[in-house]
Amino acid sequence: MQISPEQVLDALKNVEDPDLKKDLVTLNMIKDLHIVDTRINFTLELTTPACPMKDMLKNACTNAIKHFVYAEAEININVTSRVTQPTNSSSLDNIKNIILVSSGKGGVGKSTVASNLAVTLAKDGAKVGLIDADIYGPSVPTMFDLVDAKPGAVETADGKTKIIPIEKYGIKLLSLGFFADPGQPVPWRGPMASNAVKQLFNDTNWGELDYLIVDLPPGTGDIHITITQSFPISGAVVVTTPQQVALADTHKGLAMFRMPGINIPVLGVIENMSYFTPAELPDNKYYIFGNGGGRKLAERFDVPFLGEIPIIQS
């Protein structure tokens, strides 16, 4: 039996990306289609190496071809990702995407979200780094149980000395907290803090990364301006809690990304501490800080609402 490329592509038009709401052929995700007799080989190019639906989409492609083309076809699908390199020139040439995790208010769980985002991306197959840019209150050493860890250094081929980030859970980690004693204050003015953050980016041997997650300090200060104007940022995730005081500050933080000279895409809003679920009543939700504030904020700025994270008694 002779199978044509048109038959295969017509079949794959029945497979839709659940997030983008379009079929894989229209989205140009089918690459390198090669057919010999009843053997069909092609590449499924996803938008991210951490796509949680890659196995589902791969199985859906196989089922569509067998249903619409030939039930006995031998199908080999190579899954890759379309992680694009920013066009801006940068000293971070081997880092494909820099994602900021931001909040207008301190204490909303921004560092927790940034850490879990990094771990999840790494578990799903991406090469990930995490910078703790909160110079005055670094949390990453504590989050990863690395309070006493100290980064090393290496001399590069051009004679420069680069910091070697600490690795845990497959993530390359760097924080000013690794260079200061626990409890030691950092009474730096804005320019000094901004220069320290730039060094964390530029003077580190990051290697090749799909994603560099940046845990920003709360607010909208010098460090935010330095990072957004010095490096090619792919997008930002904004974290809030349901309380009105947090939402008001997060509104300002989100608006900052749309200011002239910054213009960074906001990938979405996450509402942390949305409700409380007691251990003895795992199906109950108690909205102790209010309900729906994060979703309304996302709607106001016309950005995706990425979900609610509960408080769970453990």
Q: Kindly indicate the confidence band of residue 53, based on its pLDDT and cuts at 50, 70 and 90.
A: confident
Q: What is the pLDDT of residue 86?
A: 47
Q: What is the pLDDT of residue 90?
A: 44
Q: What H or E segment, with its residue span, contains residue 57? A: helix 54-68
The average pLDDT across 159-175 equals 93
Instruction: Kindly report, residue by residue over 288-307, the tens digit of the pLDDT.
Output: 999 989 999 999 999 999 99
Instruction: Fill in the amino acid letter for 229.
Output: Q
Structural contact between residues 71 and 1, judged by C-beta atoms closer than 8 angstroms? no
Instruction: Kindly report, residue by residue over 120-155, the tens digit of the pLDDT.
Output: 999 998 999 999 998 888 999 999 999 989 999 988
List of domains in the chain:
5-81 (3.30.300.130), 95-312 (3.40.50.300)
CA-CA distance, 234 to 190, in Å (whole number)? 24
pLDDT: which is higher, 84 or 70? 70
Instruction: Output the average pLDDT for the chain.
Output: 88
> Is the pLDDT at 48 greater than 80, yes or no?
no
The average pLDDT across 163-185 equals 89
Instruction: Kindly report, residue by residue over 219-247, the tens digit of the pLDDT.
Output: 888 898 889 988 999 999 999 999 888 88
CA-CA distance, 174 to 171, in Å (whole number)? 10
Q: ∠ CA 95-98-100 to the nearest 5 degrees?
A: 160
Q: What is the pLDDT of residue 83?
A: 56
Instruction: Kindly report, residue by residue over 75-118, the tens digit of the pLDDT.
Output: 999 988 765 444 444 457 899 999 999 998 888 999 999 999 99
Question: Exposure string (b/e) for 176-212, b if CB count within 10 Å is 16 or more?
Answer: bbbeeeeeeeeeeeeeebbebbbebbeebbbeebbbb
